[in-house]
Amino acid sequence: MKPRHVLFALAALGVASISHAAVSPVLVIHGGAGVIKRDMTPAREKAVRAAMTRALQDGHARLEAGKSALDAVTAALTVLEDDPNFNAGKGAVFTHDGRNELDAAIMDGYTLRAGAVAGVRRIKNPIVLARAVMDRTPHVMLSGDGAEAFAQSIGMRLVDPSYFRTGERWQQLQKALQEDAAKQPHADVETARHFGTVGAVALDAQGHLAAGTSTGGMTDKRWGRIGDSPLIGAGTYANSGCAVSGTGWGEFYIRTVAAHEICMKVTQMRVPLKRAAAEVINQEIPAMGGNGGAIALDADGHISIPFNTDGMYRGWIGGDGVPHVALYGDEDDGTAELPQPAPAESIAQP
Ligand code: ASP
């Protein structure tokens, strides 16, 4: 019997749902972790919440239309890259030399295909280029001029590097440079150095997961520094049972291979998502001196958003299509009330 006929036969028996499990789509996003205090201007807070909400709605609309988790992640991150309030695309932080060098990655949990770009300077939406690397090249990561040459070869228009510049990010660099010169890192700048990256994880109606992350990296970065965001396994990872996007001090996410570590705990060791994510974000990374947060999603739609910083821009949207957005550490993001797998699923302690 041809596969199509098998499906018809199963449908007749009322069990066709086994090939299209009735999964309620979920999308989770972040806009970076760091010192987030209630001293933001009301206008800024409103703009951030509006952008997060729009990103959730755009991504969710894709999922509702039956599009893939990859499409939802790409759509949500494009909205955030275009918004100057985030450290990705327009509004990215500056390097020591006063440039914007952007990193992004995307991964398809179903096929384990991945695409990434690092150190690009003229790509308006790095997440779209990362997706093209995955879909249209035999490679996983392209960097710098080569990545831009590839973008041109597929008809992507390059933008002038001045497109990414915002006055606020420029001032952050000036402050960091002064403190570099005085060799006295200032707490505010130190934390501003790792804040504003954007990420998304999604579960589509087919039950497939995807993850993506986009960033300008860290203010005052030097010598072509590349962080965790575009590194598959460090800041971005998805497989058939777990998807993660991280944000924080990238060097620590690289050294702990944070996103992969969380997913391996979930899919190989059967640790419940929430515990797996907390072990890495709230224990392993701070124990090494790093900080940050992550968004994590499993194949049953469980969400976990741990962070060890004051706050984290975060949001999610589920089957009912209601967007939830939270910025501050003590703000209820609604995930605590969501069902989580029973602790009994966790591995037995020796
Ligand atoms: N993880 C990013 C990096 O190190 C920065 C961030 O998430 O804020 O490049």
Assigned domain for 344 exists: no
Answer whether 248 contacts ligand 1 (Cβ < 6 A).
yes
What average pLDDT does the chain have? 90
- The DSSP call for residue 269 is S
CA distance 276 to 280: 7
Q: How far is the CA of 227 from the centre of ligand 1 (A)?
A: 6
pLDDT digits (tens, 9 = 90+) for 162-174: 999 999 999 999 9
Query: Is 95 considered catalytic here?
Result: no
Which phi and psi (to 5°) does residue 84 adopt?
Answer: -70, -5
State yes or no: pLDDT of 157 exceeds 70. yes
pLDDT at 22: 65
CATH (domain of 300): 3.60.20.30
CA distance 43 to 26: 29
List, in order, residues 6 or more apart from 140 with CB less than 8 Å away: 114, 115, 116, 133, 134, 232
CA distance 108 to 98: 34
pLDDT digits (tens, 9 = 90+) for 272-299: 999 999 999 999 999 999 999 999 999 9
Judge whether 212 and 79 are in contact, CB under 8 Å: no
pLDDT at 193: 52
- Is the pTM higher than 0.85? The answer reads yes
Assigned domain for 5 exists: no
| Among protein residues, the one whose CA lies closest to atom 9 of ligand 1 | 217
Q: Where are the alpha helices (DSSP H) in the chain?
A: 3-12, 42-64, 69-82, 126-136, 144-153, 167-182, 187-192, 250-255, 258-267, 273-278, 285-288
Q: How far is the CA of 32 from the centre of ligand 1 (A)?
A: 8
For residue 298, list its beta bridge partners: 242
Task: Kindly give the number of the ligand 1 atom that is closest to the alpha carbon of 227.
Answer: 9
Answer whether 199 contacts ligand 1 (Cβ < 6 A).
no
Judge whether 202 and 245 are in contact, CB under 8 Å: no
Lowest mean pLDDT across 120-129, 190-199, 283-292: 190-199
Which phi and psi (to 5°) does residue 6 adopt?
Answer: -60, -40
| Percent over 70 (pLDDT), the chain | 88
CA distance 345 to 350: 15
Answer whether 217 contacts ligand 1 (Cβ < 6 A).
yes
CA distances from 317 to 52, 199, 202, 239, 347 (A): 11, 14, 10, 21, 30
Q: How far is the CA of 193 from the centre of ligand 1 (A)?
A: 8
CA distance 217 to 231: 12
Assigned domain for 224 exists: yes
Assigned domain for 230 exists: yes
Domain count for the chain: 1
Task: Kindly give the number of the ligand 1 atom that is closest to the alpha carbon of 216.
Answer: 9
Q: How is residue 16 written in tokens?
A: 């066709």
Answer whether 110 contacts ligand 1 (Cβ < 6 A).
no
Answer whether 215 contacts ligand 1 (Cβ < 6 A).
yes
Answer whether 193 contacts ligand 1 (Cβ < 6 A).
no
Q: For residue 189, give its domain range.
A: 20-336
Assigned domain for 9 exists: no
Q: How is residue 290 written in tokens?
A: 């790093």
Assigned domain for 157 exists: yes
Q: How far is the CA of 230 from the centre of ligand 1 (A)?
A: 10
Judge whether 130 and 212 are in contact, CB under 8 Å: yes
Instruction: Give the chain's radius of gyration (CA, Å).
Output: 20
Which string of DSSP letters, residue by residue, matches 293-322?
EEEEEETT--EE--BSSSEEEEEEE-TT--
